[in-house]
C-alpha cells in the first residue's frame, strides 16, 4: 500500500505535506490504515477499503499507531464472541498494554482498561456478576415499563407540542431512555436535564468528563447506600440482595455500566428509528397502512445503523487463526458490529428487507451478549409508537442530506432531527406510573431473585395512553404478553 499524498502540489517535497508518520497520511507503519485521523472521518468507507484489501479480518492502527484487528466478517465476529476459551474481554492480557506500547494515557484507555464489571469478567466471575444483573433485570415488569415509557413520551411531547417544531434528538431521543432508566434503577427523582447532560458529557470523553463521571457516580453510590439500608421494589434493591452478594462498589459499578450502556445505545436507536420513519417513504406508507409494525422498523435499523458500531475489544488468549489472519496470543480485536452487519456474505443486497431477521450483531453475542436488549427494544418500540400517535403529521423540517452525525469508533450519533407538525395542545397527564418489579425468573435468566419483598403501598393503576384500551388482567402471563408485544406477533 502506498501512503496517500496530501500535498497540494502532489510533489515529493517533504515540506509541502504532512511529515511521515503524521496521522494526516491515511496509512501508518507497515502500510496499515489508521482508525483515527482524516481517513477515519468516513469509517464506513474505511471498513470497505479494509475488507477489499484484507478480507474478513483486517490489521489496523489505533491512536499512537498501536496495532489492533478489526473483525469485519459477520461469521468471524460471531466466532470470536462465542469462543471464550480463545478470546476474552479482559484487556489485562493485551500485549500492547504489557509491553507499554499502549500506555495508561492512551486516548482509548477509558474504553479498554479492565474494570471489575461483568463486561470484562470471564468464567465463574462473569457468571456471578452477570447472574446478578440478569436476576435484577428479570424482576422488571414489562407492562409497567411500557406504561411508563408512554407516560414519559406524553410528558416530553407536552413540552414542545404547542410550538409545532422540535428537535427529536435533543428534546426526545436523548431524554426518554434516561427517564425510563432512572425509573428502572429506582431513582426517578434524579432524572433531569443535568443528569442527561453530564451523562452525555461523560460519554463524549471531553475535558469535563472526569467531573461528569464523579457526578453520575455520586448519584449511583448514594442510591446504593440508600437501598442497602432500606430496600425498595426496584432494580437496585434486587441487585444488592441477589445471592451473588455484590459489594457496594460492585453494585455502583454495575449501575454505572447499565446506565451508560443502556442510555447511549437506546438514545441512538430511538433517533435512528425516528429518522428512518421520517425519511423513508416506504416505511411511513407501510406503517400507516398497517403492514409494518414499529418493532420491525426497529429491527431493520439494528441491522443498518447499529447503536454501537464497534466494541473495544476482545483479546486473544492463545495463538489462533481468524478469517485467514494469524492472530497472536495477546492481540486485540474489535467486535466490528457495523461492518459485520453489512458483510456481503450475509447481505449481498443491502436494500433487501431484514425486518424478520434478528441475526444482526447489534447486541453482540456469546456469553457477553447484551442482557438488556429487550428493554432497549421496548423503549424504542413504545417511544416511537407513542410519539407517532401524538404527532401523526410529524415531518422532517430539513432536507435529509442536511442531517449530520458525530461518529467515534464505538458509535454514531445523529446530531439533530428537526421536525414540524401541526401545533397541538398539551395532554393532561394525571399520574406518574411507576415501574413495579416482580419476583419472577425470565426464561433466559439464571435464577429467581430471593429478595425480601419490601412493603409497598398499593400503586394506583395509571391510565394507558391509548385511552379506552385497557390491557386484560387475565390471559397470558405478563412476560408472554411482553414477548408477543415487542416481537409484533
Ligand atoms: C438498543 C439498546 C442496546 C444495545 C444496542 C446494546 C448493545 C450491547 C452490546 C453490543 C454489548 C456488548 C456485547 C459483547 O461484549 O459481546 C452490550 C452489553 C451489555 N449491555 Fe447492552 N445494549 C442495549 C441496551 C441495554 C440496556 C437497556 C441494558 C440494561 C438495562 C444493557 C445492559 C448491558 C450490559 C449489563 C452489558 C454487559 C453484559 C456482559 O458483559 O455480560 N444494554 N450491550
pLDDT at 449: 32
Separation of CA 188 and ligand 1 centre (Å): 22
Q: Which protein residue has the closest C-alpha to ligand 1 atom 30?
A: 372
Give the range of the structural domain holding residue 196, as residue numbers without chain letter: 125-308+351-439
Integer Cα distance of 403 and 416 in angstroms: 7
| DSSP single-letter state for residue 88 | E
Ligand 1 atom having least distance to the Cα of 361 = 10
372 Cα to the center of ligand 1, angstroms: 6
Q: Is 119 in the pocket of ligand 1 (CB under 6 A)?
A: yes
Q: What DSSP line would sit under 244-300, residue for residue?
A: T---HHHHHHHHHHHHHHHHHHHHHHHHHHHHHHHH-HHHHHHHHHTSS-HHHHHHH
Q: How far is the CA of 152 from the centre of ligand 1 (A)?
A: 23
φ, ψ for residue 357 (rounded to 5)?
A: -110, 120
Cell of 43: 469509517
Residue 308: CB within 6 Å of ligand 1?
yes
| 227 part of a folded domain | yes
Cβ of 340 closer than 6 Å to ligand 1, yes or no, is: no
Tell me if 471 sits within 8 A of 478, measured CB to CB. no
Q: How far apart are the CA of 40 and the centre of ligand 1, in A? A: 25
Instruction: Give pLDDT tens digits along the chain (489 positions).
Output: 322 222 222 223 333 344 444 545 558 888 999 998 888 889 999 999 999 999 999 999 998 899 999 999 999 999 999 999 999 999 999 999 999 998 888 878 877 889 899 999 999 999 999 999 999 999 898 998 998 899 999 999 999 999 999 999 999 999 999 999 999 999 999 999 999 998 988 877 667 878 888 999 999 999 999 999 999 999 999 999 999 999 999 999 999 999 998 999 999 999 999 998 898 766 666 655 556 678 888 999 999 999 999 998 999 999 999 999 999 999 999 999 999 999 999 999 998 888 778 999 999 999 999 999 999 999 999 999 999 999 999 999 999 999 999 988 889 999 999 999 999 999 877 555 555 544 333 333 333 333 333 322 222 333 333 332 223 223 333 333 333 333 332
| Residue 434 Cβ < 6 Å to ligand 1 | no
Asked if residue 315 belongs to a domain, the reply is no
Long-range contacts of 163-166 (CB under 8 A, 24+ apart): 163/423, 164/420, 164/421, 164/422, 164/423, 165/397, 165/418, 165/419, 165/420, 165/421, 166/418, 166/419, 166/421
Cα(249)–Cα(116) distance, integer angstroms: 9
Q: What is the CATH number of the domain that holds 418?
A: 1.10.630.10
Residue bearing the CA closest to ligand 1, atom 29? 372
User: What DSSP line would sit under 321-334, residue for residue?
Assistant: EETTEEEPTT-EEE
Question: What distances in angstroms separate CA 270 from CA 12, 298, 306, 413, 452, one per listed residue?
Answer: 48, 8, 11, 11, 36
Question: Among 415, 381, 418, which residue's Cα sits nearest to residue 399?
Answer: 418
Tell me, yes or no, whether 45 lies in a domain: no
432 within domain boundaries:
yes
Q: Which three cell numbers stand for residue 39?
A: 481517513
Question: Domain total for the chain?
Answer: 1
Domain annotation covers residue 169 = yes
Please report whether residue 244 resides in a domain.
yes
Position 151 in a domain: yes
Could you tell me if the CB of 292 is within 6 A of ligand 1? no
Q: What does the pLDDT read at residue 429? A: 74
In a domain, 473, yes or no: no
Amino acid at each position: 500500500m502506498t501512503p496517500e499524498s496530501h500535498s497540494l502540489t502532489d510533489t515529493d517535497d517533504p515540506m509541502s505535506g504532512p511529515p511521515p508518520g503524521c496521522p494526516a497520511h491515511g496509512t501508518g507503519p507497515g502500510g496499515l490504515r489508521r482508525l483515527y485521523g482524516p481517513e477515519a472521518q468516513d469509517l464506513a468507507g474505511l471498513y470497505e477499503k479494509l475488507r477489499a484489501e484484507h478480507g474478513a479480518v483486517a490489521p489496523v492502527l489505533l491512536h499512537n499507531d498501536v496495532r489492533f484487528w478489526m473483525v469485519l466478517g459477520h461469521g468471524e465476529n460471531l466466532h470470536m464472541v462465542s469462543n471464550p476459551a480463545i478470546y476474552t474481554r479482559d484487556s489485562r492480557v493485551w500485549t500492547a498494554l504489557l509491553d507499554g506500547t499502549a500506555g495508561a494515557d492512551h486516548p482509548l484507555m477509558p474504553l479498554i482498561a479492565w474494570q471489575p464489571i461483568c463486561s470484562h469478567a470471564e468464567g465463574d466471575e462473569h457468571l456471578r456478576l452477570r447472574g446478578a444483573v440478569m436476576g435484577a433485570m428479570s424482576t422488571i415488569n414489562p407492562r409497567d415499563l411500557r406504561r411508563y415509557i408512554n407516560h414519559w413520551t406524553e410528558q416530553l411531547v407536552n413540552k414542545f407540542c404547542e410550538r409545532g417544531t422540535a428537535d427529536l434528538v435533543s428534546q426526545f431521543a436523548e431524554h426518554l431512555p434516561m427517564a425510563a432508566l432512572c425509573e428502572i434503577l429506582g431513582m426517578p427523582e434524579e432524572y433531569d436535564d443535568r443528569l442527561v447532560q453530564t451523562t452525555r458529557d461523560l460519554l463524549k470523553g471531553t475535558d469535563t468528563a472526569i467531573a461528569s463521571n464523579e457526578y453520575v457516580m455520586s448519584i449511583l453510590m448514594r442510591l446504593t447506600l440508600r437501598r442497602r439500608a432500606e430496600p425498595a421494589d426496584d432494580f437496585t434493591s434486587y441487585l444488592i440482595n441477589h445471592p451473588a452478594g455484590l459489594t457496594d462498589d460492585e453494585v455502583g459499578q454495575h449501575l454505572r455500566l447499565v446506565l451508560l450502556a443502556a442510555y447511549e445505545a437506546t438514545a441512538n436507536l430511538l433517533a435512528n428509528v425516528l429518522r428512518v420513519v421520517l425519511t423513508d417513504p416506504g416505511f411511513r406508507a407501510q406503517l400507516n397502512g398497517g403492514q409494518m409494525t414499529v418493532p420491525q422498523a426497529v429491527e431493520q435499523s439494528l441491522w443498518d445503523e447499529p447503536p454501537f458500531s464497534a466494541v473495544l475489544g476482545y483479546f486473544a488468549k492463545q495463538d489462533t487463526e481468524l478469517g485467514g489472519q494469524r492472530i497472536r496470543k495477546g492481540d486485540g480485536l474489535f467486535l466490528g458490529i457495523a461492518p459485520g452487519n453489512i458483510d456481503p456474505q450475509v447481505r449481498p443486497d443491502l436494500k433487501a428487507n431484514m425486518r424478520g431477521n434478528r441475526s444482526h450483531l447489534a447486541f453482540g453475542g456469546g456469553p457477553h451478549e447484551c442482557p438488556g436488549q429487550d428493554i432497549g427494544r421496548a423503549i424504542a418500540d413504545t417511544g416511537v409508537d407513542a410519539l407517532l400517535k401524538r404527532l401523526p403529521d410529524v415531518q422532517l423540517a430539513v432536507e435529509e442530506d442536511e442531517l449530520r452525525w458525530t461518529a467515534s469508533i464505538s458509535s454514531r450519533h445523529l446530531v439533530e432531527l428537526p421536525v414540524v407538525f401541526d401545533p397541538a395542545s398539551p395532554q393532561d397527564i394525571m399520574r406518574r406510573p411507576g415501574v413495579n418489579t416482580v419476583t419472577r425468573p425470565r426464561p433466559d435468566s439464571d435464577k429467581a431473585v430471593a429478595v425480601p419483598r419490601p412493603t409497598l403501598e398499593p400503586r394506583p393503576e395509571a391510565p394507558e395512553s391509548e385511552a379506552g384500551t385497557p390491557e386484560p388482567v387475565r390471559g397470558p402471563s405478563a412476560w408472554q404478553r411482553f414477548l408477543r408485544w415487542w416481537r409484533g406477533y
